[in-house]
Chain A
């Protein structure tokens, strides 16, 4: 490297700080929110979910349940044990009882229901609460939420800017293929694909999901793992006392083998 270039780089670092310049092969530093689940924190998103960034959980439901909303709700339940959580229910599928079964502290959860097909309003509400200091915000988009690009881009950019400014965790579960602005705004994209039901004694006890890090600005993309999203069973006593009925995270790692397609349940 020529001396003049080195001197210029040194000047820039001195003037704007060491974070102003980085090499192309160095990852952008981002604060993390560790989930406490080894497979997530260690393999799929090293260190945990990035703070001040948008994380997208994407999946196509053309082949039945994909697990993206269950994964989002599991993460929200985990987060609610240590901080306030906002959940924008654009998909209209949230069952607070199920959230409690996942171990959520419901007192720390705020549920936003902007109405059917009100994704722009939903993002504006999420932005408002994040701007006010909500540290964790989940947005669940429904299968039909495929908004027009210009409006979507504006609302999403405002939300992403607020998440960045407040250092919050922003997680959006969206149907695949992702809208272009969302794919662009995402710093970490996890793609889910169902790999079959988990059964025990003839009952469905969970869903096996293959999760791939298809995009990551904060770590190396391409990581892949199989998750078991266990469906918790409610226990009446725990519900009455408001205690989590499932203390351990409902996400466990299984093998990394892909389940046969025949095992995927339709509908």
Chain B
């Protein structure tokens, strides 16, 4: 496996500078007002130069850098920016993990548009730079997550550091113990043993480390040799999107409700089409005046990936939902989002995507009507004498995985 790590400006700082562009180049501390008992979330380069570090109390940061501008973090804007970065990078890499100030991408194998690993990494770095607009990231590439991050930390902004396969241990050997993502007490014990760099720890046997630190010792041994097996923690796409429309006044007219649902569906459908996603479930909710909301949901017969497909499902739900009183707001929700496209294997072996589509449809039917509604029989290996023991039922799965 090959992993790319790119270190960039904290998303909280990027969104803050997008809100207050006049603060570019100034010392900026993100976290809130200094009188609050909160930690520093992020700091601009000028603030860091004054000694401000993330995690410090805001009051201490103010003492270190009295001229800094204190800006509260905007979680919604950060989430939107993270989604945008994720969507951008997913066009370049099959799996992406976007953190607050670092990005990991899976760059195993080859990319058809880039001649080698370095060109691929450069394309990812450029895309990240464009998406954030906060300067070129520092990039590292290696066979494991930890080594890639170390490589990124030892390169500089706009530079790529590559650790070739089988050279991870050599690269890590001279690094100090402080870089290890382990419990400080554990690091202190290692230092007490006279170990001052990762190479010294790598020279110990895994059995010795396990005796000292238990299961963590084995992990430590892998870590210092660059053999860590943790891959990316790629976040799944948001499971549910919803759109709510507050009506000008409580309404009982079904035609008005239909138009409101239509507007919500159009917004959601356009968003689905734009992101290349499809929803397996659709839910319609009426917020009834002075009463509890009423809702109805349905598993779509086929994943809804655009306005027309989503509207077909919502139209069916509209007929089933009878509000008990005037409706104040309409909400349409799409859930279980997944990629709308077919599988690439279909290029090589026609029919795979159709089988997968059938298996996925069967999965939705099982979710809707119960586990026993769609099953695949399989002959039992030990049938015995009873006819009903000649076969067993199993769940249909995607063909490629079966």
Contact = CB atoms under 8 A, between A and B. Distances in A.
Instruction: Tell me whether chain B's interface is mostly helix, strand or loop, or mixed.
Output: mixed
Interface string A225-263: 000000000101001101000000000000000000000
A95 interface: yes
Contacts of B396: 110
Contacts of B301: 124, 127-128, 131
B377 interface: yes
Contacts of A115: 373
B355 interface: yes
Interface in B345-392: 353-355, 357-358, 360-362, 364-365, 369, 372-379, 381, 383, 387, 390-391
A97 B369 contact: no
Contacts of A106: 376-379, 391
A156 to B, nearest CB: 16
Nearest to A98: B387
A145 interface: no
B390 A112 contact: no
A129 B383 contact: no
A207 B364 CA distance: 39
A135 B383 CA distance: 30
Chain B CB within 10 Å, residue with most, of A107, A110, A234, A240: A110
Contacts of B200: none
Contacts of A112: 365, 373-374
Contact of A113 (B354, B355, B375, B378): B375
A240 B378 CA distance: 10
Given A97-B391, A110-B358, A240-B383, A125 B373 contact: yes
A132 B357 contact: yes
B302 interface: yes
Given A100-B391, A131-B361, A132-B302, A236 B376 contact: no
A114 B357 contact: no
A237 to B, nearest CB: 11
Contacts of A220: none
A79 to B, nearest CB: 14
Nearest to A166: B354
A100 B374 contact: no
Contact of A114 (B302, B360, B373, B381): B373
B384 to A, nearest CB: 10
A22 interface: no
Nearest to A236: B383
A224 to B, nearest CB: 34
Contacts of A111: 374-377, 393
A100 B391 CA distance: 9
A100 B379 CA distance: 8
A177 interface: no
A113 B373 contact: yes
A45 B358 CA distance: 28
B280 to A, nearest CB: 12
Contacts of A97: 379, 387, 390-391
A133 B355 CA distance: 7
Chain B CB within 10 Å, residue with most, of A84, A115, A132, A242: A132
Contacts of A96: 377, 390-391
Contacts of A63: none
Contact of A240 (B354, B373, B381): B381
Given A97-B390, A128-B302, A132-B302, A121 B369 contact: yes
Contact of B377 (A109, A114, A129, A135): A109
A75 to B, nearest CB: 17
A134 interface: yes
Interface string B243-260: 000000000000000000
Contacts of A90: none
A8 B199 CA distance: 89
A128 B364 contact: yes
Interface in B264-282: none
A107 B376 contact: yes
B51 to A, nearest CB: 60
Contacts of B379: 97, 100, 106, 239-240, 242
A121 B374 CA distance: 12
Contacts of A124: 301
A77 B375 CA distance: 16
B339 to A, nearest CB: 15
Given A100-B379, A128-B364, A84 B358 contact: yes
A99 interface: yes
Give the top 4 A-B pairs by smallest Cβ distance, nearest first. A96-B377, A133-B354, A132-B361, A97-B390
7 contacts: A99-B377, A107-B378, A113-B372, A129-B358, A132-B302, A132-B360, A239-B379
Interface of B: 301-302, 353-355, 357-358, 360-362, 364-365, 369, 372-379, 381, 383, 387, 390-391, 393, 396
Given A114-B373, A128-B361, 19 more contacts: A84-B355, A97-B379, A97-B391, A109-B377, A110-B358, A110-B375, A112-B374, A113-B375, A115-B373, A125-B373, A125-B374, A127-B301, A128-B302, A129-B365, A129-B374, A131-B302, A131-B361, A134-B358, A242-B379
